[in-house]
């Protein structure tokens, strides 16, 4: 394979990753909006499944606090210590009465043979009400290339989700090289 072909393949991968990220973030935002609409349509909306002591209340929410809370939540996951991760703030999405803050946690399991391993992105959305400061922060997350949206407290994270994604990427890489 020539260097030009290799660069073209890498650019194609980067473009696909950007499109996938946009699609996954869009799904998270749509999910929060849909649940909000459902609650508004119900006569007696159920209390939030979110524990306000864990995620906090909309009043006084900061981007840094969201970052810290996501890191604390990830630490509760039953995953091996080989997984290293970093949490980044991406951007806000504005609605009339709500602001949705988007974050990305990038996971990697480096080894001696592959110190920069395959990345796995997990996207988080934190919805903050502008009109109800005493409401709990609503949080959802989605893994890259997956369509199932998870809610902390309702979903138990599985390390297998991370390994499945890295194995799929490795398989795809081998297919591209042959």
Per-residue pLDDT at 14 exceeds 60: no
- In angstroms, the CA 146 to CA 165 distance is 9
User: Which residues have C-beta within 8 Å of that of residue 119, sequence separation ≥ 6?
Assistant: 106, 107, 108
Residue 52 has pLDDT above 50, yes or no: no
Q: What per-residue confidence (pLDDT) applies to 49?
A: 46
Whether 86 has a pLDDT exceeding 60, the answer reads: yes
Give the residue-averaged pLDDT of 49-75: 84
CB atoms under 10 Å from CB of 173, counted, come to 13
Q: By the 8 A CB rule, do 102 and 90 touch?
A: yes
Whether 43 has a pLDDT exceeding 70, the answer reads no
Confidence at residue 105, expressed as pLDDT on a 0 to 100 scale:
97
In the chain, where the domains are located: 3-177
Average pLDDT over residues 27-56: 65
Q: What is the mean pLDDT of residues 146-154?
A: 89
Instruction: Decide: helix, strand or coil at residue 143.
Output: strand
- H/E element, 125: strand 120-129
112-144 pLDDT, tens digit per residue, is: 787 777 889 999 999 999 999 999 999 999 999
**What is the average pLDDT value for the chain, to the nearest integer?**
82
Question: Does residue 24 have a pLDDT over 60?
Answer: yes
**What's the confidence (pLDDT) of residue 1?**
59
- 3-state secondary structure (DSSP) of residue 172: helix
- How confident is the model over 93-103, as pLDDT tens digits? 998 889 999 99
Q: What is the pLDDT of residue 80?
A: 93
pLDDT at 164: 92
């Amino acid at each position: 394979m020539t260097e030009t072909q290799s660069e073209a393949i890498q650019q194609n991968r980067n473009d696909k990753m950007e499109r996938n990220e946009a699609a996954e973030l869009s799904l998270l935002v749509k999910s929060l909006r849909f649940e909000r609409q459902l609650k508004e349509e119900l006569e007696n909306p159920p209390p939030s499944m979110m524990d306000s002591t864990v995620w906090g209340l909309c009043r006084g929410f900061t981007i840094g606090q969201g970052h810290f809370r996501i890191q604390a939540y990830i630490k509760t996951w039953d995953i091996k210590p080989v997984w290293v991760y970093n949490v980044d703030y991406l951007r806000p999405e504005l609605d009339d009465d709500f602001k949705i803050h988007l974050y990305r946690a990038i996971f990697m399991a480096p080894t001696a043979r592959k110190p920069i391993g395959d990345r796995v992105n997990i996207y988080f959305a934190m919805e903050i009400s502008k009109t109800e400061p005493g409401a709990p922060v609503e949080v959802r997350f989605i893994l890259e290339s997956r369509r199932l949206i998870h809610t902390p407290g309702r979903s138990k994270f599985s390390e297998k989700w991370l390994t499945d994604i890295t194995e799929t990427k490795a398989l795809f890489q081998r297919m591209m090289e042959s």
